[in-house]
Structure 1
């Protein structure tokens, strides 16, 4: 596995599916800053409401996939999911079919967000339960105040760089700040 952090403003993301897994994934994508197209021939009320104007009440065809870089698929049944994954790959779109490892080009890690601080855990799709348990542990180790802590660290870094401090000085002073504040055990 090669872990990456993806900028959703640079890569078009879409979701094809229905049901609670589609709602959960759409929510996660939105939390990450994405505003994906949602393809769902028969969306339930919650998915339709959440997708809003980004909902297409059909599965994506080849032309729709041409503008997409990443596609999440779930809740459509094995044959439809396999066919859609093959079509997407033929258009050079990376695919993740929820809980079907052989049809996945990538896996989405379990995520903890504290403002701009993003921590992830991945098991390569082998154990979502373990990834979830580890995510919960990270949530307890890094509570919500870490969003403000990161803003403080970033402001300190920006100020010191503007004053002409070298990267090594800024790194050392940042470690000192974190130690002085006792933010890490």
Structure 2
């Protein structure tokens, strides 16, 4: 069993870059943008969709070593193996966390499958061992937690804020939130 530590990164505090091309690079870029990131994007041969998605952040080349200065997290997707290996080495020399899609030995971290419902974020990870299983589980969670959960979270957050404003402490807030979830029948 691989050891992993789940983390949620705030993209306003982390400099992210994406190197890639093809459908998986577009998917990863869309996920980063949806999460609030504004990554630098490097692609030697971007298609029209990647060009549109990346906008002014796109550089039509692989990054030079100097381009990686200041980057803290690097995603590499759809780049040939020798170039991906070189980028992973360059990143690690600079203490940059790197993920080379579907190449476990070159990954410092694995990006989980993601379900977003407003501020509600659910993830599924197999540690890179079975992206297909992560996808199937994500699809199942999407049906169990439809878009209405964004509103439910907002309702719970408002309750929490009201209780905190009156001086309520953690256990009381937790109990009230659990009671609301039960009273509304949100979970079976």
TM over 0.5, shorter chain:
yes
Once the 2 structures are TM-superposed, how far is the Cα of residue 8 of structure 1 from its aligned partner?
0.5
- Structure 1, unaligned runs of 5 or more: none
Tell me, in whole angstroms, the C-alpha distance in 1 between the residues paired with 2:79 and 2:165. Answer: 53
Task: Name the structure 2 match of 1:49.
Answer: 52
Alpha-carbon distance between aligned partners in 2 of 1:131 and 1:31, rounded to the nearest angstrom: 19
Which of 88, 91, 99 is residue 91 of structure 2 equivalent to? 88
CA distance in 1: counterparts of 2:65 and 2:24, whole angstroms: 24
Shift of 1:183: 0.6
Rounded to whole Å, the distance in 2 between the matches of 1:84 and 1:164 is 51
From 37, 45, 50, the counterpart of 1:34: 37
Alpha-carbon RMSD across the aligned residues, in angstroms, is: 0.7
Matched, 1:104 2:107: yes
Runs of 4+ that moved beyond 3 A: none
Contact 1:62 1:91 in 2 (8 A): no
Alpha-carbon distance in 2 for matches of 1:178, 1:126: 34
Q: Scaled by the length of structure 1, what TM-score is found? A: 0.98
Per-residue CA deviation, residues 19-50 of structure 1 (Å, 9 max, x unaligned), is 11110100011111111110112211111111
Q: Deviations over 1:93-144 (max 9, x none)?
A: 1110011111111000000000000000000000000001110111111110
SS in structure 1 opposite 2:182?
helix
Q: TM-score, normalized by length of structure 2?
A: 0.96
1:5 counterpart residue number: 8
Candidates 141, 145, 150, aligned match of 1:142: 145
Q: Which runs of 5+ in 2 are unaligned?
A: none
Distance 2:166 2:23 in 1: 51
